[in-house]
Chains A and B, each alone.
Chain A
Amino acid sequence: MGILEVQNVNKSFGGLKALTNVNLNVEEGMIHAIIGPNGAGKSTLLNCFVGRLIPDTGAVTFDGQSLLGKKPHEINQTGVSRVFQTPEIFSDLTVLENVMIPCFAKRDGAYSLNAINSVRNEKDILEKAEQMLVDVNMADKRDMVASSMSRGDKRRLEMAMCLSQDPKLLLLDEPTAGMARADTNNTIELLAEIQEKRHITMVVIEHDMHVVFSLAQKISVLAQGTVIVEDLPDKIKGHPKVQEAYLGGAH
C-alpha cells in the first residue's frame, strides 16, 4: 500500500478531458517522477492532490485519508507541501520571515491570534527557521527581501519553506524549470540529500530527463490524460510506449 493512492481519477474542463482513469501508487520514502509531453495532464493531476482542483470522479487517498473536498490549508496540515512551477513565496517579506511562516503554521495550526507577543520572542520558531536556512545554504541571505533574489534562490527558498514543515509528502512541479545547468545540478543534489536525510516521499513533475533519471526511483508516464506506463527508471528508457508518446507514433 502506498502513502499516496490515486484511483480512477477523471477530470474534464468543459469538453476537454484532462485526466482519464488515472491510477497512481506512490510508495512511502520514494522519489516518484511523473513525466509526459506538454498537455499530458501532469499539473492537473498535481492540482488534484493539493485541493486546487477537485476530480470529477475517483479517489485520492493520502496516508489513509481521502483528500477530496479538503481545502488547500487542510491538505497541507495533513503533511503535504508543494513547490510550484514559478516560485510562490512571500516576495515582500525577508527570507527569514518567509521561512518562519510555515514554522508557525506547523506549530500553531491553521490559525492562532497571537497578536501581542513579538515575533522576536518566538525563540523556537526563530531557531528552527535559521537552522533551515543553514541547511539550504541561505543563511547569509536571511535579511534580504525575497523579491530581490535570483530565480534559483527563490526556488531554494520555497523548498526551504516546504521542508521546514517536515512534510510527509513533497510535491515538486518542475523544480528545475528555467535553471542553468549548475543550478539544476545543485537542486538535484539538494533533493537527493533531503531524501537521504529526511526520508520524505516526493512526487516530481519534470521535463528534464537528466533530472528525472538522476533522482527518480519510480516513473509514471502520462500521455493524453492517462498513465501509459509505470515502472522503474531503467525499464522506462527503452519502453516502446514511451517513445511513441514522446515522438508521436512508432517508426
Chain B
Amino acid sequence: MFGLRKSDSALLLIVIALTVLAPFILNPFPENSVMAQFNAGYPDLMQRLVIFGIFAIGFNILFGLTGYLSFGHAAFLGVGSYAGVWMIKLLTLNVIPAIVVSVIVAGAFSLLVGWISLRRSGIYFSILTLAFAQMSYALAYSVLTPITGGETGLQPKVGDPRILDAALEEGVTPRANLFGMFMNDSYDMVVGGWIFTFNVGYYIAAICMVLAFYLSIRIFRSPFGLMLRAVKSNQQRLNYTGIESKPYTLAAFVISGMYAGLAGGLLVAMDTQAGAERMFWTASGEVVLMTILGGAGTLIGPVLGAGFIKYFENIVSKINANILETWFSFMPDGLSDVFVGIIYPFIGKGWHLTLGILFMLVVIFLPGGLVQGGQKIAGMFKNKKDGSDSATSSASAAPAE
C-alpha cells in the first residue's frame, strides 16, 4: 500500500485507526463516574498528543537513525511557532500559511544550527545544540522582544494588518481558522453516560501526523535511511566506503528541524500564541525522553512515547490531595492518611518525580522502550501458544509456516 511493505502498511493503518478513533479510545469512562478524571478525550490534550507525536517522529529521524543526540530541538519548535504567529498577524487568520511558513523557517534555522553543530559528534554535538537552543531562548526572552513579545509572548491582536483578510467586525477577537472552520469548534456525541468530542483542530493535526508518520516510514526504508543507520553503526567505515557523512547527517538534521517546525506551527494554529518557554532546555529534554521512552530508532516508538508522556503529564498532574483522600476514604482514618502521604509527592506538581521513576525503569529494564516492552509481551503470548500447541497436538505436528 502506498509503496510500503506489508508490515509497514499494517503499522500505518494502526496509527490511522488510533488517531481517527482517539476521541473514543481516550474517553473510556462515563462522564459522571469516579474514573472520569482519567479521560483524556478533550480537544486541548488530544491536539497536544498528536502535535508532540509529530515532534518526536521528527526527532527520531535524527536521533533514532543517525544516533546524533540533539539537545536543542525545542528551538526549532519555538522558531516555527513565532513564524506561525507572525503569519497570522501579517497575512491571514487562515492556518495554512502559518503552518507552511513555520516549517520553512524552522528548516532554514536548523540548516544554520546543523551546519555548525555537525562539525562535532557525540557529546560535543549535543552541547553545541544545547547552546544554540539556550541562546535562542535567551534572545527570544529579552533582546528580541519586539519580534517575540519577550516575557508576555506573542499573540495576534485586533489591530494587526492581516493583509489577506477582510477587516474584523468591531469587538470580534481574531481566531485562527481553516477556510471558516475554527480550530476549537467541536461536535459532542452523547452516548449514554459518555461524551465523545470531535474537534476540528484535532483532526487537522491528526492528518498532519499521519502524513508525517507516512513520510518517516518512507525515509526509514529508503537508501537515505540506510545511510543514516550506517552513520550510527560505523561512521569510519562509511567514510572509507566513499561516502561523505556530513550531507546525510545535515539532511537528517534539517528534516527533523522541519518536523519540529510543523509541530510549532500546529501548536500556533490550535492556540494562537507563542512564548519563549517553548524553547527552554526542558522542552528539548522532553522530546528526548519521549523518543527513548517509546523506543528510539523504531517507527512507532516516538508516537507512543509522546502519547504516554503527554497523557500522564495531564492526568497525573491533575490529581490533588482531595482526590487522593476520596480514593482512600474507605480505609480507617490513620491508614488512609499514611497512603495519601506516601502517594502525595508523586502527583500534582510532583508529576515529574513519577515521570523520572518511569523513565528510569524503562531505561533499565526495557532499553528498547515501550516498543520492546510490547514485543516482549507479544513474545510471551506466542511462546505460551506454541507451548500449548505442541503439548496438545504434538502427534500431528505440521511444518510451521
Contacts and interface: CB of A to CB of B under 8 A. Distances in A.
A90 B222 contact: no
A88 B226 contact: no
A112 B236 CA distance: 18
Interface stretch (A56-64, A100-108, A239-247): A100-108
A89 B3 contact: no
A71 interface: yes
B233 interface: yes
B193 interface: no
Contacts of A50: 240
Interface stretch (A9-17, A116-124, A133-141, A218-226): A116-124
Of B227, B237, B244, chain A has the most CB atoms within 10 Å of the CB of B237
B162 interface: no
A206 interface: no
Nearest to B297: A92
Given A90-B230, A114-B223, A76 B218 contact: no
A101 B243 contact: yes
Contact of A111 (B226, B229, B236, B244): B244
Given A92-B232, A111-B247, A119 B242 contact: no
Nearest to B61: A115
A110 B243 contact: yes
B299 to A, nearest CB: 14
Given A101-B238, A118-B218, A120-B221, A71 B244 contact: yes
Chain B interface category by residue count: 20 to 34
B242 A73 contact: yes
A125 B225 CA distance: 15
A119 B233 contact: no
Dominant secondary structure of chain B at its interface with chain A: helix
A82 interface: yes
Given A91-B234, A97-B226, A104-B227, A72 B218 contact: no
A101 B218 contact: no
A116 B226 contact: no
Contact of B241 (A97, A101, A117, A119): A101
Chain A interface category by residue count: 35 or more
Given A76-B241, A82-B240, A104 B233 contact: no
A100 B230 CA distance: 11
Of A97, A109, A111, A112, chain B has the most CB atoms within 10 Å of the CB of A111
B223 A93 contact: no
B144 to A, nearest CB: 33
A161 B221 CA distance: 21
A113 B251 contact: yes
A117 B220 CA distance: 10
A165 interface: yes
Contact of A72 (B219, B223, B227, B240): B240
Interface in A42-96: 50, 71-73, 76-77, 81-82, 88-93
Contacts of A90: 229-230, 233-234, 237-238
A92 B241 contact: no
A116 B226 CA distance: 12
A102 B242 contact: yes
A106 B242 contact: yes
Of B238, B239, B240, chain A has the most CB atoms within 10 Å of the CB of B240
Nearest to B5: A120
A238 B236 CA distance: 40
Contacts of A104: 223, 226-227, 243
A181 to B, nearest CB: 28
Interface string B74-113: 0000000000000000000000000000000000000000
A105 B243 contact: yes
A114 B237 CA distance: 20
A93 B233 CA distance: 8
A72 B241 CA distance: 8
Contacts of A109: 242
A105 B243 CA distance: 6
Nearest to A91: B233
Interface in B159-204: none
B301 to A, nearest CB: 16
A92 B235 CA distance: 12
Contact of B234 (A88, A102, A110, A125): A88
A67 B232 CA distance: 28
A108 B226 CA distance: 14
Contacts of B3: 118
Interface of A: 50, 71-73, 76-77, 81-82, 88-93, 97, 100-102, 104-106, 108-120, 122, 125, 161, 165
18 contacts: A50-B240, A71-B239, A73-B244, A76-B241, A81-B240, A81-B241, A88-B234, A89-B237, A90-B237, A93-B229, A93-B230, A101-B230, A115-B223, A115-B255, A117-B223, A118-B3, A118-B222, A119-B223
Interface of B: 3-5, 218-219, 221-227, 229-230, 232-234, 236-244, 247-248, 251, 255
Task: In the A-B complex, list the 6 residue pairs whose CB atoms are closest, starting with the nearest.
Answer: A76-B242, A115-B224, A90-B233, A105-B242, A111-B247, A88-B237
